Each structure stands twice: as structure tokens, then as C-alpha cells.
Amino acid sequence: MGAAAGGDVRRFCLLATLAWCSGAAAWSQSGTLETAAQAARQSWYVHDVSGLLAGSSGIILQIPGADPSSPLGRPQAAELLRRYLGGARERSVTVVSVREVEPGIGFVELDRRYVVSGTADQRRESLFLGFRRVEGRWVLAELRSVGG
């Protein structure tokens, strides 16, 4: 196999992997709220901001460095989350509770344990995620951080 063919195979594998990952994020939020909670947990754990915000149009974000007064567009929320997550290494992210409070509105609590890069001290944070059911999919509408 020539160098060009090898490059084509690598490109195909990369594109296939990217398509599978983005499809998995979209599929995982189309089921139950529990499925959406597990998808959010996994996205947070691997710092996949795009997967976490998939399908969201406006997000209320309450994390250090963000003004929670009004919903943010997905690009702005994604940038703030990337900055927030950038200096941390996850140790664990666990789903604590999942509940649908009324049809189409659900809340998820995650317990996050992480270390800040360059330190050894483990920190703990509770994450509260508000979901809305939009066109048959659970999408993130609100994210609040407590502790950490």
C-alpha cells in the first residue's frame, strides 16, 4: 500500500470515528432522561463540551467565570465550559439523581471529583443539570456548579 493510500485509510478512520462519536451523543439524548444523564456524565468526564451541549440553543450557565443572569448561546457556553474544564483532570463523575419534575422538564445531579492540573489535592463539586425535551430529545438548558 502506498503512502497516499495509507493517508486515505487514516482519514477515513478519523472521519468514521468522528461521525460515530457525534452520532452517539445525539442518539444518547433521544431516549430517556436517565440515558441523557449518563451521556452528560460521560461527556463531562472526557471534557466533550460539544457532546454535552448537543442540540441546546440557549443555556443558563452558573460556573465560576460565567454570569448566570441570562441564557448563553451554544458557542459562548462552549467556550466558557472549555476554559473551566481546561485546567482539571477528572477522577470521577457520578450520576447522583435523575428526575422528571413535569413532562418535558428534568433535572440531573452529578457528583464530580477532580484535581486541578499541577496539584495533587482532589476537589469535589456538585453539578446540577436542567434538561428540556425538545423534538423528542433531551437537551441541556441549564448547568449550575456548587462547590469545588
Domain ranges of the chain: 3-147
- Nearest by Cα to 137 from 37, 26, 59: 26
pLDDT in tens, 30-73: 589 999 999 999 999 999 999 999 999 999 999 987 777 789 99
Q: Is 83 left (phi over 0), alpha (psi -120 to 50) or beta?
A: alpha
Q: Is 3 left (phi over 0), alpha (psi -120 to 50) or beta?
A: alpha
- Nearest by Cα to 97 from 84, 85, 86, 108: 108
Instruction: Decide which of 142 and 6 is more confident.
Output: 142
pLDDT for 17: 36
**Which CATH class, in words, describes the domain spanning 3-147?**
alpha beta
pLDDT for 28: 39
Chain position carrying cell 473551566: 84
pTM, 2 dp? 0.77
Q: Judge whether 67 and 42 are in contact, CB under 8 Å.
A: no
pLDDT for 148: 66
Q: What is the mean pLDDT of residues 99-127?
A: 96
- Nearest by Cα to 91 from 112, 117, 109: 112
Chain position carrying cell 448547568: 143
For the cut 90, the answer to whether the pLDDT of residue 2 exceeds it is no
**pLDDT band, residue 27 (cuts 50/70/90):** very low
